[in-house]
Chains A and B, each alone.
Chain A
Amino acid sequence: EIVLTQSPGTLSLSPGERATLSCRASQNVATTYLAWYQQKPGQAPRLLIYAASSRATGIPDRFSGSGSGTDFTLTISRLEPEDFAVYYCQHFSTSRQTFGQGTKVEIK
């Protein structure tokens, strides 16, 4: 079973700063099967990135995904007020889905 470990647990930044979120898998995963979601309080998760680096429909280009093998990164180039939220990475296959424990991006 693949385990996803996200770091840091909490990221305290100011609007306009760059955010770098990490997702590490316990074994190599195909980039095709790695996604990132954003979740705001009281809301359902929203798909940001699929296939490790492809932005979902309507996602601003300040969000970018990268990585391969066991190390993946979500970068928010310049934080907007609406970007403060919790972010989850996900690995999926036909038979199983795994989410990381989340990284909270909070206003400093």
Chain B
Amino acid sequence: QITLKESGPTLVKPTQTLTLTCTFSGFSLSTSGVGVGWIRQPPGKALEWLALLYWDDDERYSPSLKSRLTITKDTSKNQVVLTMTNVDPEDTATYYCAHRSITVVRGAFDFWGQGTLVTISS
């Protein structure tokens, strides 16, 4: 059974760096075709993709946020970490991590964490 869970601060001050951790189970990020992505959703708004990390360490980022994002993994801990620098109140959102399988569902996000709400405010 695949599960993912996001963790991190609920409140961050503007200009600070936000670090979020996705802890997963039921799959390995060393398996060919597997990836973990981060997606966010501001209150009352649509989903926005942020970043994606593949089994082969390939990293992909949203072009509009690329300069502020870093995605890394700790395979031994089954974790994927997203770092966002210089946060702004517009970064207030629920942040989700999700499992992506190229082989099973052609690359869609088939399993999602519950999400974590991060508020950017002084």
B-binding residues in A (CB < 8 A): 1, 32-33, 35, 37, 39, 44-47, 50-51, 54, 56-57, 88, 90, 92-102
- The reply to whether A92 and B46 contact each other, CB–CB distance below 8 Å, is no
Q: Complex Cα distance A100/B46, Å? A: 7
**A8 CB to nearest chain B CB (Å):** 15
| Least Cβ–Cβ distance between B59 and chain A, in angstroms | 10
Residue from B39, B46, B58, B109 in contact with A101 in the complex, judged by beta carbons closer than 8 Å:
B46
| Interface size of B in residues (CB-CB distance below 8 Å) | 23
User: What B residues does A37 contact at CB under 8 A?
Assistant: 47, 109
Cβ of A44 and Cβ of B106 under 8 Å apart? no
- The interface residues of chain A lying within 8 Å CB-to-CB of B114 are 44
Q: In chain B, what residue has the closest Cβ to A44? A: B112
Smallest Cβ-Cβ distance to A47: which chain B residue? B110
Smallest beta-carbon distance B55→chain A, Å: 12
- How far is it, in angstroms, between the C-alpha of A1 and the C-alpha of B106 when the chains are bound? 20
- A32→B106 contact, CB < 8 A: yes
12 sample A-B contacts, Cβ–Cβ < 8 Å, listed by A number: A32-B106, A35-B108, A35-B109, A44-B112, A44-B113, A50-B105, A50-B106, A50-B110, A54-B106, A90-B47, A94-B58, A98-B49
